[in-house]
């Protein structure tokens, strides 16, 4: 795939290793940081069963990134959450966007969504997480952002 950063016309290459209705797992030579907005263009044929995703000229946001050395090659692994079709800016904080709790999956209004780092939660799960021991919270957070959500 090719991607560009917001307000930039220079494109970069990435390899897609995992794809779902909501996001992508990619590897690229360029550093990606959580929270960055990207435009995605997949120029090659999509695998059978994913043609309905229409990922050409789509918005996304980097949810997590991890630098890795693979042999002599230094790459960045990243999870990209796909924005709603046709949206031109980041979907965070927009009233018309749909938000879902990353823990229980319940839909939450933008006024109710709670963020802790990169995790979006409903008020109930947010309250529950605050009572967990710090070590358990860290492990749960790493697990949740380690998957394309």
In a domain, 124, yes or no: yes
Beta bridge partner(s), residue 60: 38, 82
Query: Of 66, 88, 110, at which residue does a domain stop?
Result: 88
DSSP 30: S
Query: Of 42, 65, 88, at which residue does a domain stop?
Result: 88
With residue 140 as reference, give the H or E element that holds it. Answer: helix 134-145
- Could you report the per-residue pLDDT of 15-39, keeping only the tens digit for each? 888 877 678 889 999 999 888 889 8
- Could you report the per-residue pLDDT of 86-132, keeping only the tens digit for each? 433 333 444 555 677 888 888 887 778 787 766 778 899 888 888 88
Domain count along the chain: 2
Q: Could you tell me if 7 and 69 lie in one domain? A: yes
Q: Could you tell me if 108 and 142 lie in one domain? A: yes
Global pTM exceeds 0.75: no
Q: Is residue 91 within 8 Å of 97, Cβ to Cβ?
A: yes
- 3-class secondary structure per residue, the chain: CEEEECCCCCEEEEEEEEECCCEEEEEECCCCCCCCEEEEECCCCCCCCCHHHCCCCEEEEEEEEEEEEECCEEEEEEEEEECCCCCCCCCCCCCCCCEECCCCCCEECCCCCEEECCEEECHHHHHHHHCCCHHHHHHHHHHHHCCCC
Please tell me the distance from the alpha carbon of residue 142 to that of residue 113, in angstroms, as a whole number: 19
Q: Is the pLDDT of residue 46 over 90?
A: no
Q: Is residue 43 within 8 Å of 19, Cβ to Cβ?
A: no
In a domain, 140, yes or no: yes
With residue 126 as reference, give the H or E element that holds it. Answer: helix 123-130
């Amino acid at each position: 795939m090719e991607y560009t950063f917001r307000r930039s016309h220079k494109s970069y290459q990435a390899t897609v290793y995992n794809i779902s209705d909501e996001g992508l797992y990619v590897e690229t030579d360029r550093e990606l940081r959580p929270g960055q907005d990207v435009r995605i263009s997949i120029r090659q044929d999509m695998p059978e069963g994913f043609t309905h995703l229409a990922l050409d000229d789509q918005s996304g946001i980097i949810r997590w990134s991890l630098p890795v050395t693979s042999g002599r090659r230094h790459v960045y692994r990243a999870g990209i959450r796909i924005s709603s079709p046709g949206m031109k800016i980041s979907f965070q904080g927009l009233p018309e966007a749909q938000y879902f709790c990353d823990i229980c999956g319940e839909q939450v209004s933008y006024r109710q969504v709670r963020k802790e780092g990169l995790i979006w939660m409903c008020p109930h799960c947010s309250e529950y997480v605050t009572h967990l021991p710090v070590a358990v919270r860290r492990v749960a957070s790493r697990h949740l952002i380690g998957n394309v959500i």
